[in-house]
A and B are shown apart, each in its own frame.
Chain A
Amino acid sequence: MESVTVTEATTGIEPIPSYRPDEKTRRYDRQLRLWASAGQKSLEQAKILLIGADATGCQALKNLVLPGISHFTVISDAIVQPRDIATNFFLVPDSMGLSTAEETTRHLKELNPSVEGCSRQADPLQLLKDEPEFFTSFTMILSVNSAPEFELALSDLIWSASDNESMTPDISLITVRNSGFVGKMRVQYRQHCIVDTHPDSTHTLRLDQPFQELKDFALGLDMESMDSMEHSHIPYVILLVRALERFKAGGNAEVTYDNMDAFKETLLTERRALDEENFEEAESQAFRVASKTEIPENIVSLFASSQCENISSSSRNFWLLVHALKQYTSLPQSEDLLPISASLPDMKASTTDYVHLQNLYKNKANSDLTAFKDCVKTTLGSVGLDEDAIDDEEVVNFVKNCHSLQYIDGRSLREEYETDLRKDLISE
């Protein structure tokens, strides 16, 4: 082929097509690859208050303004001193004698034009008495090197403002204290529910208890008539499912780590040549057949919690969905498991076999999703909500991540201050 120029080969003159990232996506590219668009969306809903506009506080805020929170306010009644200029990157000699809140806000705003920044020159302690609703209008508060009495009063306000049931408003408080080479940080929230935890792997192969369609396909393959190319490209998932059937037919109830060698022997009876890499792969993945697929422990404990049991129309979507998930697991369709994941790891296989296998998992995942959606409707109906009160995207995302949901129960600063720590340690 003749050499052509890149410009000739592409359409440089036409307007930028929609599949290309827009300017915002390009700006945030490196973080979107970490927390994806769902994470970015949450971040862009954050309204953050900074109390304590010192070097530490402003650096923390900088790292939130850069990725693109919605709004920040800096509150301080301090006036800029030479020492502040020497330590705080967001103050300059011209700031001397001016409001610390205003000057730091001005410089922090430069970091990201899409973030709204405000300053308030006031004494936080006085404001807490006069205008508590100011504090509860934020989604997160950073209190840096503030007086302990103030921190405690603030924490009480935030804690009591968060309704325990609906968690609205859901305000988290981060308190920070540092000096020299040491520092400490403490986070307060009533509860933290995470759906998208970005686990390293989302595969649920279920090799120990293959679903019907997978089993049918695996056992229906005519391996005898395959040529050597086809034979050496059968995906290991199929090989293991077949081996498990033969192993069971041979009188074994299940594969365990103890009878693994025997199981591998059974697996290799179908191998034709020593250099078949798919068999090599199947051997190295055989342990998956011995690990029992079940509902993960953290999900079981979510099912047992009172928030899952006692749902109401004001429950968080998270708990309504967990409740629906629990309902789902009692359906015959579920086989006592969570909905299957559509994802399949890469493996030695021909394209056709791999895509076919992928579709088996996808179809099963879709059918599980449909059953789960019915449970969501029933759940919502049972508390008097519209059956589409939770939008489809959220439901789909929940199912996609249902194996790795995380829930963290918080406690208040006051509780921590007033608990006898020694007693805690002893009882542990």
Chain B
Amino acid sequence: MPDRSIISASLLPDPSETAEEIAQRAETRIAYIKLAPEDKYGDVDRVLDTEGPFTDEAFQGGKEAKQFLRNVCKVLVIGAGGLGCEILQNLALMGFNDIHVIDMDTIDISNLNRQFLFRESDVGKSKAVVAAAFIMNRVPGVKVTPYHGKIQDHDETYYSQFQLIVCGLDSIEARRWINATLVQMVDPDDADTVKPLIDGGTEGFKGQARVIIPTVTSCYECSIDMLTPPTTFPICTIANTPRLPEHCIEWASVLEWPKHFKDKKLDSDDPDHIEWLYQKALGRAQEFKIEGVTWSLTQGVVKNIIPAIASTNAIIAASCCNEAFKIATTSNPYLDNYMMYVGNDSLYTFTFEHEKRPECPVCGGETIEFEVKRDTKVERVVEMLTERQDMQIKKPSLSGPNGPLFFQAPKQLYEATKANLEKTVGEILQDGDQLNVTDRALPFTLTLRIKFVA
């Protein structure tokens, strides 16, 4: 029996609606919810009531699958942005009735070209809260619980309440964190601790979807070396020989901003901050006769903006949700385990299996061997680590068997260890020693084994 107070609470009142009209809407909604399930879910039921040519042997189908999907399965959506809005919509329409959503962002006008659960009047509000309210208002009977904050605010107890996690994120750091957390949660004796993670990502006309079954399939960290390294400009180019408009913008944001504003952090969402950078960069560009510094480019470089469109998000989110549905209902085999989609030139998709990396610091058992010459300075080791495609770190701190070797922060530890930068590895470490690396981007301690080479 539908609970009237919950139904009424899920209705978003239209400003033009009278109290009576809202009450009427609630009645219509209750009448709809009371309809026999087959009258509403007939279309979805077709894949749940019948076995297809690819159906898994374990498929029970019918009542049990429906019961799990509609009354038991609790699914977490991470991100309520371009992909998140689509994912929430799809999951709700597929019949997932208990959905949670996490997002730390607020709505910006530039979201409205694709994040279709938001309107102009929502600008400035929490994405998670507005998205949840919109879905509950639009799709009768579904419960969406928002959390406006960071994924790191929650611990394993929180994540263990879900059966499935679907991610629509734009941050590598967040993906690494949730991946490592879910892998750590696995208890080999308890199948319920294995939480499938479905991850989507897009960039312009390109996208990807993947299924990670923690400890069973390869994890996010296993293929971290596949990521394209971010474009960086050498400091000497920025400082001395700018050639591109981007160099002038980097000069303004990396070198000039801290000089002028001391401890004030640059906020790339603040138009006044962008204005200042734009003027600075423009001045420098004119001085060097460089063309092409615009407001839009300044914003793009400073915020590292990636193009995003509604249609690619829809395709990738649909793919992620199909996998979530197949995993939850066993109706069809799920993606094993990575699909790339390229829509730039005609249309191309390719599916392949990412393999587990035995020395994966998250799910592998083996230690990574770090080959280095004895006379290499520690300073160079730090640099070498940031260059490693399979590590993707920016400011690593190092510890050896006898404690800290070099720490970037806090200040006292930095002061105490910075002298080591000038020493050679041979002076402070033995062949075969363990070197522990920590970094803000790493949700774990990376352990390397030193191997001296000639």
Q: Which residues of A contact B (CB under 8 A)?
A: 1, 3-7, 9-12, 19-21, 23, 25-34, 55, 59, 62-64, 66-68, 82-83, 85-87, 89, 92-94, 96, 110-113, 180-181, 197-198, 233, 346-347, 349-351, 354-355
A66–B241 CB distance below 8 A = no
Q: Is B340 an interface residue (CB 8 A)?
A: no
Give the number of chain B interface residues (Cβ < 8 Å). Answer: 67
Given the known A-B contacts A67-B113, A355-B290, are A30 and B307 also in contact in the complex, defined by CB atoms under 8 Å?
yes
B28–A82 CB distance below 8 A = no
On chain B, the residues within 8 Å of A12 by CB distance are 272
Given the known A-B contacts A86-B93, A111-B116, A351-B290, are A93 and B31 also in contact in the complex, defined by CB atoms under 8 Å?
yes
A110–B295 CB distance below 8 A = no
Within 8 A of A (CB), among B391-417: none
A59–B140 CB distance below 8 A = no
A86–B40 CB distance below 8 A = yes
A23–B109 CB distance below 8 A = yes
Having A67-B114, A94-B25, A96-B32, one finds 5 other A-B pairs with CB under 8 Å, namely A9-B276, A10-B279, A233-B241, A346-B243, A355-B289
Within 8 A of A (CB), among B298-326: 300, 305-311, 314, 322
Q: Which of A29, A55, A63 contacts B296 (CB 8 A)?
A: A29
Q: Which of A26, A180, A351 contacts B241 (CB 8 A)?
A: A351
- Shortest A70–chain B CB gap in Å is 16
Q: Which of A26, A83, A89 contacts B42 (CB 8 A)?
A: A83
B332–A351 CB distance below 8 A = no
- Shortest A199–chain B CB gap in Å is 9
Q: Give A347 to B241 CA distance when docked, in angstroms.
A: 11
On chain A, the residues within 8 Å of B120 by CB distance are 113
Q: Give A197 to B205 CA distance when docked, in angstroms.
A: 13
Which residue on B lies nearest to A355, using beta carbons?
A: B289
- Shortest A106–chain B CB gap in Å is 12
- Shortest A297–chain B CB gap in Å is 15
Which residue on A lies nearest to B311, using beta carbons?
A: A63
Given the known A-B contacts A26-B109, A27-B112, A33-B300, are A10 and B276 also in contact in the complex, defined by CB atoms under 8 Å?
yes
B322–A181 CB distance below 8 A = yes
Chain B positions 14 through 52: 1 when the CB is less than 8 Å from some CB of chain A, otherwise 0:
000000000001001101100100011111101100001
On chain A, the residues within 8 Å of B262 by CB distance are 3
On chain A, the residues within 8 Å of B288 by CB distance are 351, 355
Which residue on B lies nearest to A20, using beta carbons?
A: B295
Which residue on B lies nearest to A86, using beta carbons?
A: B40
On chain B, the residues within 8 Å of A198 by CB distance are 344
Which residue on B lies nearest to A23, using beta carbons?
A: B109
On chain B, the residues within 8 Å of A4 by CB distance are 260-261
Q: Give A26 to B278 CA distance when docked, in angstroms.
A: 16
Given the known A-B contacts A30-B114, A87-B93, are A6 and B270 also in contact in the complex, defined by CB atoms under 8 Å?
yes
On chain A, the residues within 8 Å of B138 by CB distance are 89, 92
Given the known A-B contacts A26-B110, A351-B290, are A9 and B52 also in contact in the complex, defined by CB atoms under 8 Å?
no
On chain A, the residues within 8 Å of B44 by CB distance are 86-87
Which residue on A lies nearest to B289, using beta carbons?
A: A355
Q: Which residues of B contact A (CB under 8 A)?
A: 25, 28-29, 31-32, 35, 39-44, 46-47, 52, 89, 93, 109-110, 112-114, 116, 119-120, 138-140, 204-205, 241-244, 259-264, 270-273, 275-276, 278-279, 288-290, 294-296, 300, 305-311, 314, 322, 332, 344-345
Q: Which of B31, B109, B314, B344 contacts A63 (CB 8 A)?
A: B314
B276–A31 CB distance below 8 A = no
Which residue on A lies nearest to B309, using beta carbons?
A: A31
On chain A, the residues within 8 Å of B140 by CB distance are 85, 92-93
A93–B305 CB distance below 8 A = no
Given the known A-B contacts A6-B264, A93-B31, A346-B243, are A33 and B305 also in contact in the complex, defined by CB atoms under 8 Å?
yes
On chain B, the residues within 8 Å of A89 by CB distance are 89, 93, 138-139
B296–A66 CB distance below 8 A = no
A86–B43 CB distance below 8 A = yes
On chain B, the residues within 8 Å of A66 by CB distance are 112-114, 116, 310
Q: Give A28 to B113 CA distance when docked, in angstroms.
A: 6
- Shortest B309–chain A CB gap in Å is 5
Q: List 11 A-B residue pairs with CB atoms under 8 Å apart, sorted by A's residue number.
A: A3-B261, A6-B270, A6-B272, A11-B275, A20-B271, A31-B309, A34-B204, A82-B40, A83-B39, A93-B25, A93-B31
B109–A351 CB distance below 8 A = no
On chain B, the residues within 8 Å of A96 by CB distance are 28, 32
B113–A34 CB distance below 8 A = no
On chain B, the residues within 8 Å of A197 by CB distance are 345
A83–B40 CB distance below 8 A = yes
- Shortest B381–chain A CB gap in Å is 21
A351–B243 CB distance below 8 A = yes
Q: Which of B39, B113, B260, B294 contacts A27 (CB 8 A)?
A: B113
Which residue on A lies nearest to B21, using beta carbons?
A: A94
Given the known A-B contacts A27-B112, A83-B42, are A3 and B243 also in contact in the complex, defined by CB atoms under 8 Å?
no
Q: Which of B39, B119, B306, B322 contacts A82 (CB 8 A)?
A: B39
Given the known A-B contacts A12-B272, A55-B93, A350-B241, are A82 and B307 also in contact in the complex, defined by CB atoms under 8 Å?
no
A1–B260 CB distance below 8 A = yes
A6–B273 CB distance below 8 A = yes
Q: Give A77 to B319 CA distance when docked, in angstroms.
A: 31
- Shortest B312–chain A CB gap in Å is 9
- Shortest A399–chain B CB gap in Å is 18
Given the known A-B contacts A9-B276, A66-B310, A85-B40, are A29 and B295 also in contact in the complex, defined by CB atoms under 8 Å?
no
On chain A, the residues within 8 Å of B32 by CB distance are 82, 85, 93, 96
On chain B, the residues within 8 Å of A63 by CB distance are 309-311, 314
On chain A, the residues within 8 Å of B261 by CB distance are 3-4, 6
- Shortest B18–chain A CB gap in Å is 14
Q: Which of B110, B263, B270, B314 contacts A29 (CB 8 A)?
A: B110
Given the known A-B contacts A30-B307, A30-B308, A34-B204, are A3 and B28 also in contact in the complex, defined by CB atoms under 8 Å?
no
Given the known A-B contacts A181-B47, A351-B290, are A6 and B276 also in contact in the complex, defined by CB atoms under 8 Å?
yes
- Shortest B59–chain A CB gap in Å is 14
Q: Give A179 to B280 CA distance when docked, in angstroms.
A: 56
- Shortest A42–chain B CB gap in Å is 14
On chain B, the residues within 8 Å of A181 by CB distance are 47, 322, 332
- Shortest A20–chain B CB gap in Å is 5
Interface centre among A32, A59, A349 (most CB of B within 10 A): A59
On chain B, the residues within 8 Å of A21 by CB distance are 295-296
- Shortest A185–chain B CB gap in Å is 9
Q: Give A328 to B260 CA distance when docked, in angstroms.
A: 53
On chain A, the residues within 8 Å of B276 by CB distance are 6, 9-10
